[in-house]
Structure 1
Amino acid sequence: MPQMGPLLWLNLFIFFSMSFMLFFVINYFLPPFSKMSPVTSPDKPETLNWKW
């Protein structure tokens, strides 16, 4: 029935709006991930200091 077409788009718009708002609320209340900073850099091998 073509008369029901606008109701389909209205439901899709409401679903999209609610999921978009949920996405922003979750991003607002959850803190971002903290990057772990190792003491020594993993890409540089640890060199020994032979001169005392």
Structure 2
Amino acid sequence: IYLIPQMSPIMWLNLFIMFSMTLILFNQNMYFSFKNYKINLNKINHKTPKTNWKW
């Protein structure tokens, strides 16, 4: 009989918490590292050429 060492449930819980916290912190870093630029549509001049449709 080969005895395979297994992790206890509390160690699985610690591993899950560690990976979850890493994921949350990484996502927060990525979210707050970029500035959100709001585009003000009123300041942009939209020039649409007038067209005469002659069907």
Give me the CA root mean square deviation. 2.9
Name the counterpart of 2:29.
25
**If the length of structure 1 is used for normalisation, what is the TM-score?**
0.55
Count of residues in correspondence between the two structures: 42
Q: Rg larger in 1 or in 2?
A: 2
The structure where helix makes up a greater share of residues is 1
Shift of 1:30: 1.7
Moved over 4 A (4+): none
Specify every segment of 5 or more residues in structure 1 that has no aligned partner in the other structure, as ranges. Answer: 41-45
Specify every segment of 5 or more residues in structure 2 that has no aligned partner in the other structure, as ranges. Answer: none
Aligned-residue identity in percent: 2
**If the length of structure 2 is used for normalisation, what is the TM-score?**
0.53
